[in-house]
Amino acid sequence: MRQYEMMYILHPQLSDEDLAAAIEQVGRYVTNLEGEITQTIRETPWGRRRLAYTIRHNGQDLRDGFYVLIYFSLENTRKLVEIERALNLNERVVRYLVTKFEAPKPVEEKKQSDEKRAVS
């Protein structure tokens, strides 16, 4: 299974109940396609934040957004297209970005691999 990281920004005018429902809905996009969510971060340092620039979304100029970061795994990479399609159709999602996630290597392993390259 491949590991992915997805950050998305939700509309800032959502109530607390709607916000929780939107986060759960995005999580279902992953789980319905046989994916597994390992972590969802919506608190510090994320949460409601000021955007770097104004985003025009559904006829409104938004200056704030609610940031959510999730880590998940999928067996089939083609299912990412379906997740992105669902995110594009969701009016609560302002922006999103999905990237392949590779856990950082421990410092010792990195030094050993650098030493091997230097010897070669």
Across 43-63, average pLDDT: 90
What per-residue confidence (pLDDT) applies to 84?
95
Give the Cα separation of 11 and 65 in Å (integer): 6
| Residue 7 near residue 71, CB atoms below 8 Å | no
Could you tell me if 70 and 6 are in contact, meaning their C-beta atoms sit under 8 angstroms apart?
yes
Condensed to tens digits (0 to 9), the pLDDT of residues 56-97 reads 998 999 999 999 999 999 998 889 999 999 999 999 999 999
How many percent of the chain have pLDDT more than 90?
72
pLDDT greater than 80 at residue 102: yes
* pLDDT at res. 5: 95
Residue 42 carries which DSSP code?
-
Q: If you average pLDDT over residues 36-60, what whole number do you get?
A: 90
Q: Is the pLDDT of residue 106 over 80?
A: no
Residue 36: the pLDDT is: 94
Which numeric CATH code is attached to 2-119?
3.30.70.60
- pTM for the model: 0.81
What is the model's pLDDT at position 103?
77
pLDDT of residue 119: 62
Please give the torsion angle defined by the CA atoms of residues 12, 15, 21 and 22, in that order, rounded to the nearest 10 degrees. Answer: -10
